[in-house]
Amino acid sequence: MFKLIAHVSGKVQMAGYRFRVVIIAKAFDLRGYIRNLPDGRVKIVAEGSKADLERFLAAIRIENTLIKVEDIKAEFFDAEGAYEDFFKVAGERETDARLDVAAEHLKELIAVVREGFKETNSSLSEISGKQDDLKEAVTEGFRETGSSLKEISGKQDLLIDRIDEARDEIVSEVQGLRSDLKGRTDERLQRIESDVTEIKAKIRP
């Protein structure tokens, strides 16, 4: 077993850092304490296995919304077994555990809000991009539609002309058929009348 004495500098006082360190130390089943120093640093004394203490050192190098560890000076000694738990030492004018918890919740809230703004900005950027794409697509669509309408209009005029031509041809053909039919009909009628006249002449006494 070893004893770690570490001095942590940075933004580590009045930021909920000791509260976090206590949680981490308990997770590694370490014994010892953490306290603020008058010069703005934090002192940590922890006892445990060398491997756990090294992992603990890496874990307490915290940097987030409220906490920023800039440097850790650490020394290892033989363990004395003087501690039964890991705890925070608070001075007379220092905040108690409830305010540390409040600071931790505040940190989480700030992180969530910042993350939310990041996501919102990202979403707005995506929407803006999509809006630009949509605008471009609509503009291109109108261009293509305009071109298509012109093509359709031209084809429609051509189609109308062809329909008119076909109609004229049909009318002409129908008129021709009617003329032919009328001529043939008249011719047949004349033949029938002639035949009837002959029949009547033969029937008469």
- For residues 86 and 30, is the Cβ–Cβ distance under 8 A? yes
Query: Is 114 one of the catalytic residues?
Result: no
Q: How many residues does the chain have?
A: 205
Q: Identify the bridge partners of residue 71 per DSSP, sorted by sequence position.
A: 9
Identify the residue whose tokens are 């934090």.
42
Distance CA 175, CA 169 (A): 10
Query: Is 18 one of the catalytic residues?
Result: yes
Phi-psi region of 101 (alpha: psi -120 to 50; beta: other; left: phi over 0): alpha
The catalytic position among 20, 31, 36, 41 is: 36
Instruction: Give which of 93, 87, 88, 83 is closest to 38, Cα–Cα.
Output: 93
Active site residues: 18, 36
